[in-house]
Structures are given as C-alpha cells and as structure tokens.
Structure 1
Amino acid sequence: MPQTYTHTFDTPVYKGSVTFNTGLFIDGQWVDPVDGGDRIDVVDPCTGKVITTVVAGTSKDVDIAVAAAEKAYKTSWGLKVPGVERGKLLGKLADLVEKHSDELAALEALNVGKHFHVAKMADIPLAVNALRYYAGWADKVHGKTIETTENKMAYTRHEPYGVVGAITPWNFPLGTVSFKIAPMLATGNVVILKPSEITPFTALYLASLINTAGFPPGTVNIINGYGNTVGEAISRHSSIRAIGFTGSTLTGRKILKASAESNLKKVTLELGGKSPTIVFDDADLEQAIKWASMGIFFNMGQACVAGSRIYVQEKIYDQFLQGFTKTAEVLAGATGGPFEPGVQHGPQVSNLQFERVMGYIKSGKSEGAKVLIGGERHGDTGYFIKPTVFTEAKPDMKIMQEEIFGPVCSVVKFKTEEEVTEWANNTTYGLAASILTENVARAIRMASNIEAGSISINSGPSAEPNVPFGGYKQSGIGRELGQYALDTYTQVKAVHINLGQKL
C-alpha cells in the first residue's frame, strides 16, 4: 500500500497540516510500482535536506496506466460523455482547487521555494482559471458543414485522440499541469501525466481532488518518475496518440525523436526562451524598471519567458541602470525562505539548477562581461543566488545566447529601433518579448517585427488562460491555452455524404 506524507506548517505566514499520497495514481487508485521501484528524494531548496520521498514508476507502470486510460476512454469518458458533463466535472475540480488553495500554495512553496503568498495569489488562481476556462469550452467543440454540390453534404468532426500524455516541469508545477489536463479533458481525451520528479507534491495532492470531483477512474493517471524512464515510456508508447510537453529544448528534441521512431504521435512542445525586454527612451522609466525587474527576477528567473536580455536606448541607459540596480539590491536584501515575512527572493529549485546558473555566471565573467551586482551565492545553506546584472555583454556570449533559467540578466545599450530589432531576433529562441514605449505606432511595429510567439507591450511577460501561448523557432511547436488548445488536442475528421450522386 503506498505511503502518505503529512507536512505540518507552523510558520508566520501559514499554519496547518497537509497530507498527500506518495504513490502512483492509476485507475482512480493509489498503487505501488509493479516492480517495487525506487523512491525519489524530494529536496527542500532552502536547506538542501530531503523533505520526503515519492515512488518512482517504470515503463511497466505506464503500460498499466495506459490500459486503464483506454478502458475509461471507451466506456466512461471521451465521446461517451457529453461535453456538458465533462465541463461540470472540470468546474467541480476548479472549485476544489480554489477551496484548498492554502494547502496547495503551501506545498508549492515548500517544494519549489517560491514564497507562499506568490503561490497563493498567482500560481493557484492561474490553475483555477485555466480549469474553469476549459470547463466552459467542453460543450463547444464544434465542426463545420462545408458546401460542395447540391448532391453532396460534407461536415467535419473535432474528435479526441484518446490516450494522451502530459509531461510537466518544476517551475510552475500546478499551473502547467492545469494548462495541460484542462484542455485535454475538456476535449474528451484521457491523460497519462508525469509531473517533474523534483516538484511532484501539488500534482499528487491534485489527484485526490480529481477523485473527489467525480472523474471516472482511469480518466487521469499520474506516474511519478524520471524522464529517462517514465518520460521516455510515455514518449514512445504506441497507444498514446498525442503528447504535450513543457520543459527544455534538449528534452523536447528527445520527445520529438521518440515520436518519430514510434507511432508518430502528435507532439506539442513549449520549450526554452531567451526573451528580450526592450526599453525605448520615451517609456515610463519607473514602470519600465519595475516591469523589467519582474520579467527577469520573478520566480528567481526560473521561467521560460524570463527577460534575460534587457536592451535600453542610450538616452536613458544610465538612469535605467541606476534604478534597476537598486531594485536588484532590494531583492537581494529580501532573500529568504518561502514562509518568512517580507521575503521577495528565494532559492533555485535544486542543486543541479544552482550549479547550472552559477556556471553561466562564471562563463559571463570569463568571456568579458562585467558583473554590476550579484554574481555570487547568497549564504552557505540551500540554493540561493543573488540577483545578478551583467553589463558590457556581447551578442555572441553564452549568457546572451543560451537560456540561463536563473536570476541573471544582461543590460545592453542600443541606439536605433532597427539595431535592437536585429539584436532581439539574434537567437535560436522565439518564445516571448517585452516592449516598453509610449509610441503606439512603434509598439505595434516592434510587435510585428520581433520573432516571438508572445509579445507584451508596456508590461512584463504574462499568461492568461484565454490567450494562446507558444514559441517561434526552437522555443516550441504548437500552441497551448485559449481556443487554440482545443485544436492541439483534437483531430479533424471529414465526413462526405452522398445525397444523390450516381455512377
């Protein structure tokens, strides 16, 4: 019988006990791996100490989960259940997530290291909104009738794939799980979910809410495990017809290759980014500094849309740099754990991520960029890195070309719109960009010319459940969120009806 884990929080910002199961969630039940399996250490990023362990599944467990999902799809979900009923269950799940927002926020904060209030006010509401948004879409998945001739009728059906896979990252665990499963379920698919082995807590807690909401057994199956075992099995399974992945470009390539070498499953990839933030000299300087700071330092820089390349027009460069540096200093002075009052900056999620980010800082220094502030570890416990600002960075440096995924940015001076447009597009990525200017014509022109899937004007990067999200170039394939996700997780069938044609 799988173990449960209870964590008691007795902190200034949250007090309470939260319990969740650490096993595999298959066919509506908690089970152990068929082979006994290893257990995965889940580490507190503030201390480096193990919080608890969760079981690690294998490909055999994926096989069992797929069989349960196939049965559910054929008997109690999919086209067997009207969209209005699917929507009601998604709505119930949204209500339950909202009802248990304190517990989910506490687990998210404990697991990721982000502050409790950020998790409660940002991460959990985003998940709730996504579930509610797609609850409303579940009975609105429509095809078309198409005029051909008077002797023929043609129409289309948008049908679910059946069993689909979802592999989610560690930076926004509950949010990305919701972004995946909500449109998958709304369109009638059944799901095999692998949450990140680094941050599985909220996905496991969500499983109990899925049962409480009344979803049929097998509709959602959650398999903890490593990418090279469970993730690989999902990517190659011949009965999984589509897969949605959020994570690194390197892993995205592996999933795409696995699809090509197995059953050519539909693959949607939301991958890395190297987003530019472009500040023109007519921007509201105070607001520009705040938005640029949020764009790179939010979630300790652990966001695919993080604005790690900040381009500032030469006339206001010195003023911007002065104010931006002060903002970084404030964050550095407000560094701490997720349940401490007044904390604004936390740790990286793991030792591996800490070492990776510190490696990029070392690279920037060695290639000749200048550290204006930060560039060091904070303290000697946990995985804290000081907010880091580079100047004098060149376009071909690693810190300007590769995704760092940490609180590290470069501030670069530019002269003209044409120049900064060329620089902004000079990466293999194209996920997001922020443009700060009071010139409306310039803002629209820049939004058209920047090669990225999501453009924010006079703000930092943002996400809304009803707005599509995805990347250009090596930042991904396909779109999530909005009505576009319905197309991502359905396949179109054309039906031709002969009304009088004779041979």
Structure 2
Amino acid sequence: MSDPALFSHADWQARAAALTFRNLCLIDGAFVPAASGKRFASVNPATGQVLTEVAHGGAEDIDRAVRSARNAFDDGRWSRQTPGQRKEVMLRLAALIRANIPELALLDSLDMGKPVKDAATVDAPGSAHFFQWHAEAIDKIYDEIAPTGGRDLAMIRRVPLGVIGAVVPWNFPLDMATWKLAPALAMGNSVVLKPAEQSPLSALRLGELALEAGLPPGVLNVVPGFGEDAGRALGRHPDVDCLVFTGSTAVGKLFQRYAGESNMKQVWLETGGKSPNLIFPDADLDKAADMAAFGIFFNQGEVCSANSRLLVHESIAEEMIDRMATRAAAAQPGDPLDPASRMGSMVDHRHADQVMNFIASGRAQARLVCGGERVTLNGSDAFIQPTIFADTAPDARIVREEIFGPVLSIQTFKDEDQAVTMANDTVYGLAASVWTRDISRALSLADRLNAGTVSVNTVDALSAMTPFGGMKQSGFGRDLSLHSFDKYSALKTVWIKY
C-alpha cells in the first residue's frame, strides 16, 4: 500500500469518488435493511452533499442484534475460544485495518468533516494499533489464587460479562469504536455497536473487516440509528449486560436512567470536558503555544479533552496571546481532502450553529482576539475560523460550558493557588495540562488538579498503555490500558475444599 501521508489532494478526491459505502445494519454476520425499511441520509458536512442513505435502525433491529449477540455468547463460538484463538483473530483484524487505512480514513473524513490526512496518519493507524495491543494482552492476564491455606483452593477468575452495548460519538468514529470493541472482544464478550448517526460508515466497514478476520457471526453487530430510538432501546434492553458510552454528559445521564428503568446493567461513561492548560513563566513558551494550539484546534476542537481553557500567568499574558493569535492564523479551515488543510468542517450545519452561538456569547462577555467568523467552502458554511477570546470572566459561558469547537478562552492567574482554583472550578474533570520547568511545581500541581489525565509539558498525552477517562461529570471508568478490561469482565470466585 502506498503511504497515505504522501497522497495529493487529487489522489484523495479520486479515491473518494470510487468509494463503496456499507449502509445497512450488520446483524448476525449479514448486512440487512432496518426492520422498518426506513433510511436516513449520511451527509458530507464539508459539501452538504448526501453520501448515501443508511438503514435507520430502531428498537426491533436492536432486539434482533441483541438476540444474535446473546446466542453467539451462549453457544461459545467466541466466548469459549482460548485466549490464543481470540488473539489470532484480532491480530488479523488489526492487519486488515492497516491494509485499508485510506478507505477507513476517507469514510471518517467524508462523514464528519475532519482532515483526511489526520484520519489517515493518526486515527486509522491508531485503531489498528489499539486492536493489536489489546489482542497481545489477552494471554498476558492471569487469574489468581487466594492465600486461604488449609485444604482449600480459592480461585479468582476473570470472566466475560456477556452482551455489551456500545454507543460511540462522531468526533473519532473509528477510534472510539475501537476503544470499546478491542477490550470487549478480547475478553470474549459479544457486542452490539451503535455508531453516531452523523458518522456510521466506518463502523459498518469495521464490522465487515472483523468478519473477514474470522470473528464469528453474531459476535459483533452494528446498528446505525438515532439516540432516541436505537440508543434508547439499547440502553433499556433487558438482555444487555453492560452499556459503554462516549459522548455528552447529558446523554450519559440518560443511559444511567435507562439502566435503572430496565435490568440495572452496568453503565460506563466517558463524557464531556472543559480542560484547563496552565502555563507558567518558566515554560518553553514557543512549544507551549504550539501544543496549546494543537490542543484546541486539532479535529476542529471537536475533542472531549480539548484544552479549551488557557490559564496563563499574568506576567506573560500578552506575550502568549500574541503567540496564540499567530498560530490560529496558520490553522484556518480548508477542504478536508486537501492534505494541506489544518482544520476541516464542523460535523454538521446544526453543530456549526451551536458553536457560532457560543462565539456570539463570547463577543458579549470577553475580548475577541481573532477569528469568530463562519467560512463557506465548497458550498458549505459548516466551517468556522479558529477563535480566541481573552479577558474572559470566570462565569462567562465560554468558560463554563463545553463548546466542542475551535474556540479558546484565555484567563490569567497570579500564583499557583489561584491557578489550581481556576482550573478546578468546573463540573468536568477529564484532562489538564501544566507547562513548567520546575519539577516540584509539576508534581504538586498534578496532585492538586482534578482530572483523569494531567499532562506536563505536553497536552492530551495518550497511549494504549495508560488509562483514559475522567472525574466528576466527565464520567467514570477507563478506556485503554490493562484497566480497560475491568469493565468488560467480572470476577468469579471458585472455592474448592479437598
């Protein structure tokens, strides 16, 4: 395969024109229409054009998918395979993802407007890596023997839960599906995956690749649909053992309610964020500015852990504002299929409206440094300039609420105590960053910041080896790392007297 990082604008356009879309529900190993026969449009937000009509899954389709997953789990076609056998299938799936990176990258780019170069060099390769990493971990996780003594043998075994319902967002469609699927499948569970209605295409293709890799039919089912029908049906289904979700805090609360209304299924949530980025005078200010721009403008700011609050020591405030304005000017939106584009479009016109509403609020409550305008490209006005506000008050809406767009608010602090107070003054607790050369300060602040990940002299540090998740209303439970297996398994004690 040619290196996608070297593809030209024309190369990507030609590949996009030749794409074939999988647009039906994947249930029990076969693509089938929705039981209702309904479809919905999958729209390219960067052009406003319809890509394809996708099966509109509903409660009946979720029920079919759950029954298929339950049958697959109960008959042991996957759950009772050895760890080594599951590992081989998942390694083949990782290889197939790598072999199809251009196609998978295009599906996500066309579906949600992100730069295809980012999808081809970060998202799709990352998905292959995460499948491989979890596959390699399967036969490295050991059960335990309790030190009971005497004529007793107490075995503590880690066993799969059964049927997992997974609901994933539109901002990283392939990656977020992988974060849920890899550990769930590795443990031997069956899964019903509901991708976001804005971005179902890569999930459906991933399901097809999983079958090609040797995953038995019924072990992975993919039902595209909307939250109010397919999502709610999955959350309330009495035969789903565990529901995992990445998305908004408001919808996460709905899934907690659905679980209580049905079978008290486990619910694991990774929800919103309003991540602070603290910069001290002794930091490398150029590098801090580079990464601060990445932390808010990458993926158009549509990142749950986006560093959307820049807290700067008052002695370097104007210097950092100038640096950030320069970097924003270099990150203007462009055609997502052009490898030179630093930013793409918002996921859809409605979300662009919401972001512009936040910008209007910011204009009334803070000083606009740069950006703030909507941009029309290729007939679509879903593009928004990278936007920076300064002199923002602590109670400003753009400081308090998750925007999920390329909008940065800059505040100043006098000392460490004030910086920590400002950073923690939020209902969220997903991520935080600190920039300083003082190791004592870095370690002290890492202890005091209420966040699931604290990155020092970088932003959004991430690895398959470390857990990702939040505190407070950013949710609970962790994706990635060996800890990700915890929510897809149960501990069973087997006690033998002899």
TM-score (norm 1): 0.95
Alpha-carbon distance in 1 for matches of 2:474, 2:9: 39
The worse-fitting range, judged by mean Cα deviation, of 471-480 and 76-85 is 76-85
Aligned to 1:5: none
Alpha-carbon distance in 2 for matches of 1:105, 1:179: 17
Deviation at residue 362 of structure 1 after TM alignment: 1.3
Indicate conservation of the 8 Å contact 2:87/2:136, yes or no: yes
The one-letter amino acid of 2:270's match is E
Indicate conservation of the 8 Å contact 2:420/2:445, yes or no: yes
1:128-167 to 2 correspondences below 5 Å: 128-167=128-167
Aligned to 2:29: 28
1:301-316 to 2 correspondences below 5 Å: 301-316=301-316
The worse-fitting range, judged by mean Cα deviation, of 87-96 and 147-156 is 147-156
Alpha-carbon distance in 2 for matches of 1:308, 1:265: 34
Alpha-carbon distance in 1 for matches of 2:242, 2:100: 31
Alpha-carbon distance in 2 for matches of 1:159, 1:140: 14
The worse-fitting range, judged by mean Cα deviation, of 247-256 and 456-465 is 456-465
Deviation at residue 19 of structure 1 after TM alignment: 1.6
Indicate conservation of the 8 Å contact 2:117/2:339, yes or no: no
Aligned to 2:417: 418
Aligned to 1:359: 357
Alpha-carbon distance in 1 for matches of 2:160, 2:138: 12
Alpha-carbon distance in 2 for matches of 1:266, 1:216: 25
Deviation at residue 171 of structure 1 after TM alignment: 0.2
Aligned mate of 1:370, from 367, 370, 374:
367
Deviation at residue 461 of structure 1 after TM alignment: 0.9
Aligned to 1:6: none
Alpha-carbon distance in 1 for matches of 2:381, 2:85: 46
Alpha-carbon distance in 2 for matches of 1:78, 1:42: 32
The one-letter amino acid of 2:372's match is G
Alpha-carbon distance in 2 for matches of 1:475, 1:49: 34
| Residues 1:323 and 1:464: Cα distance change in structure 2 (over 3 Å) | same
Deviation at residue 45 of structure 1 after TM alignment: 1.2
Deviation at residue 78 of structure 1 after TM alignment: 4.4
SS of structure 2 residue aligned to 1:18: coil
CA offset digits 1:417-447 (Å, max 9, x no partner): 1100000000000000111111111111111
SS of structure 1 residue aligned to 2:306: coil
Aligned to 2:275: 275
Alpha-carbon distance in 2 for matches of 1:338, 1:12: 12
The worse-fitting range, judged by mean Cα deviation, of 78-87 and 118-127 is 78-87
Indicate conservation of the 8 Å contact 1:77/1:190, yes or no: no
Deviation at residue 149 of structure 1 after TM alignment: 3.3
Aligned to 2:123: 123
Aligned to 1:399: 398
Asked if 1:57 is matched to 2:57, the reply is yes
Alpha-carbon distance in 1 for matches of 2:371, 2:8: 32
Alpha-carbon distance in 1 for matches of 2:26, 2:82: 25
Deviation at residue 34 of structure 1 after TM alignment: 1.9
SS of structure 2 residue aligned to 1:399: helix
CA offset digits 1:166-212 (Å, max 9, x no partner): 00000000000000000000001000000011011111111221111
Indicate conservation of the 8 Å contact 1:435/1:456, yes or no: yes
Which residues of structure 1 form unaligned runs of 5+? 1-8
Aligned to 2:407: 408
Runs of 4+ that moved beyond 3 A: 76-79
Asked if 1:220 is matched to 2:217, the reply is no
Aligned to 1:209: 209
Deviation at residue 323 of structure 1 after TM alignment: 1.0
| Number of residue-to-residue matches in the alignment | 487
TM-score (norm 2): 0.96
Aligned to 1:340: 338
Indicate conservation of the 8 Å contact 2:8/2:339, yes or no: no
Asked if 1:297 is matched to 2:294, the reply is no
Aligned to 1:77: 77
The worse-fitting range, judged by mean Cα deviation, of 62-71 and 215-224 is 62-71
Aligned to 1:3: none
Indicate conservation of the 8 Å contact 2:115/2:339, yes or no: no
Alpha-carbon distance in 1 for matches of 2:149, 2:91: 42
1:432-443 to 2 correspondences below 5 Å: 432-443=431-442
Asked if 1:471 is matched to 2:470, the reply is yes
CA offset digits 1:29-83 (Å, max 9, x no partner): 01112222x2111111112232221010111111111111111112243442111
Indicate conservation of the 8 Å contact 1:78/1:162, yes or no: no
Q: CA RMSD in A?
A: 1.4
Aligned to 2:233: 233
Indicate conservation of the 8 Å contact 1:23/1:30, yes or no: yes
Aligned to 2:172: 172
Indicate conservation of the 8 Å contact 2:78/2:188, yes or no: yes
Alpha-carbon distance in 1 for matches of 2:93, 2:233: 28
Deviation at residue 360 of structure 1 after TM alignment: 0.9
Alpha-carbon distance in 1 for matches of 2:490, 2:359: 45
The one-letter amino acid of 1:266's match is Q
1:478-489 to 2 correspondences below 5 Å: 478-489=477-488
Indicate conservation of the 8 Å contact 2:336/2:345, yes or no: no
The one-letter amino acid of 1:90's match is M
Deviation at residue 13 of structure 1 after TM alignment: 4.2
Alpha-carbon distance in 1 for matches of 2:393, 2:424: 14
Indicate conservation of the 8 Å contact 2:21/2:52, yes or no: no
Aligned to 1:458: 457
SS of structure 1 residue aligned to 2:374: coil
SS of structure 2 residue aligned to 1:193: strand
SS of structure 2 residue aligned to 1:281: coil
Deviation at residue 341 of structure 1 after TM alignment: 4.1
Identity fraction in percent: 39
| Residues 1:11 and 1:325: Cα distance change in structure 2 (over 3 Å) | closer
SS of structure 2 residue aligned to 1:438: coil
| Residues 1:313 and 1:481: Cα distance change in structure 2 (over 3 Å) | same
Alpha-carbon distance in 2 for matches of 1:20, 1:129: 24
Alpha-carbon distance in 2 for matches of 1:106, 1:444: 41
